[in-house]
Amino acid sequence: MSYAFRTLLRKVGSGPHTSQDLTREEAAAATRMMLLQEATPAQIGAFMIAHRIKRPTGTELAGMLDAYDELAPRLQSIGDRPVLILNAPYDGRDRTLPLSLVTALLLVAAGQPVIQHGGGIMPTKEGVPLAALWAGLGVDWMTLSLAQVQGVLETTGIGFVYMPGHFPLGQALVEYRDQIGKRPPFATLELMWSPYAGSGHVVVGFVHPPTEGMARSAFALRGTAVYTTVKGLEGSCDLPRERTAIIGLGATGLGAGVPALGAGVPAGEIERLHLHPYDYGMGGKNVPLASPAAAVEDMLEVLQGKPCELRESVLWNAGFYLWRCGKAGEMHEAIALAAHLLDQGAAWQALVRLRQATSTPCPV
């Protein structure tokens, strides 16, 4: 048993009246001891459920991210231009069709690099993970080493960090999620983690407003330069079409190639943006997720320029990110650019290049 960990556990697990928040350093230490299995299984499970009940703070999440910086894998810099980190809940989707795969291909076709990360089927939701949908498109991230993913990122502009293969320390904690039957604070941490050592533009999807507040606080403490928050579909960074998209633009220090959206916003604050899809002719229903196979078929139709309901959702989502990354001056122009990239086959060619790079990666 770790007596040092027990001390931290007692702070967060003492109940609603006497529990205490951890300092940033204590949260980093607790995360480190869990990842390294220095704490016992009983201690780890108890901490996860106690921390969930207490609710993590931005300061604690900053410390947890510090520990991830120390122990988790990261892709290395591919240049000064910020890479867009499109985060998504690791426990997948079960209601709406994910848009971020086609969005990533459109962004790369426009010259904007993208990194995603995730795992396999994850409790407690056990939805369809992004890695499985990528495999359906002919891109198998699950068999590549981290060094091979680095090569693919440098060649194609897209990378994917797959936790079971690239982050075994994190994967070892997955079984606790199933055993406690609830998402632990690690699930919140994953929404704001950047597995990239270079300049990154982090996108955080959320459902509940407190999650956005915790992310803002953690980013301010860590000096995260540029970030975007999105009240997205199922907690992802996919913009909805049935309601107003609630977005936060944060920029505590702008990097090369990032538009001056959010510039001058004080640390920990955001510039609030409400995007009404009907103002851009993009209103409609969010496309349901019928099955993984049907989702892949729909995505392939969009990439091949065929008209379908998913195309409108993709144009709305990709248009926002093209605009946010400075590829167009206005949303109308960004949506038109997304349509042009689809119609000219640029996104499809990005997928073809990605298939080739992942099927014959450089041996490492």
Residue 42 confidence class, pLDDT cut points 50, 70, 90: very high
Q: Kindly report, residue by residue over 283-330, the tens digit of the pLDDT.
A: 999 999 999 999 999 999 999 999 998 999 999 999 999 999 999 999
CATH architecture of 3-71: Up-down Bundle (1.20)
Q: Do 61 and 188 form a contact (C-beta atoms < 8 A)? A: yes
Q: How far apart are CA 45 and CA 323, in angstroms?
A: 43
When pLDDT is averaged across residues 61-65 and rounded to a whole number, the result is 98
Q: Is the pLDDT of residue 155 over 80?
A: yes
Angle between helix axes 346-359 and 292-303 (nearest 10 degrees) is: 120
Number of Cβ within 10 Å of residue 76's Cβ equals 12
Walk across the sheet containing 200-205 and list its strands.
158-162, 114-118, 83-86, 200-205, 226-230, 245-251, 271-275
Domain boundaries, the chain: 3-71, 80-364
pLDDT score of 258: 42
Residue 153 confidence class, pLDDT cut points 50, 70, 90: very high
Q: Kindly report, residue by residue over 68-80, the tens digit of the pLDDT.
A: 999 999 999 999 8
Higher pLDDT, residue 150 or 269: 150
Q: Is the pLDDT of residue 16 over 90?
A: no
pLDDT score of 81: 86
Q: Is the dihedral of CA 157, 76, 135, 176 positive or negative?
A: negative
Higher pLDDT, residue 257 or 192: 192
Q: Is the pLDDT of residue 254 over 80?
A: no
Instruction: Return the DSSP state at 317.
Output: H
Give percent of the chain above pLDDT 90. 90
Instruction: Return the DSSP state at 75.
Output: B
Q: Do 144 and 359 form a contact (C-beta atoms < 8 A)? A: no
Whole-number Cα distances in Å, 201 to 114, 204, 252, 253, 331? 9, 10, 11, 11, 19
Q: How far apart are CA 197 and CA 309, in angstroms?
A: 37
CATH class, range 80-364: alpha beta
Q: Are strands 226-230 and 245-251 parallel, antiparallel or unpaired?
A: antiparallel
Residue 6 confidence class, pLDDT cut points 50, 70, 90: very high
Q: Is the pTM of this model over 0.85?
A: yes
Q: Is the pLDDT of residue 257 over 90?
A: no
When pLDDT is averaged across residues 98-124 and rounded to a whole number, the result is 97
Whole-number Cα distances in Å, 4 to 11, 20, 32, 176? 12, 16, 12, 21
Q: Is the pLDDT of residue 259 over 50?
A: no
Q: How far apart are CA 273 and CA 249, in angstroms?
A: 7
Q: Is the pLDDT of residue 263 over 90?
A: no
pLDDT score of 2: 87
Peptide bond into 124 cis (omega under 30): yes
Q: How far apart are CA 275 and CA 321, in angstroms?
A: 12
Query: Which two three-digit tokens encode residue 293?
Result: 């196979």
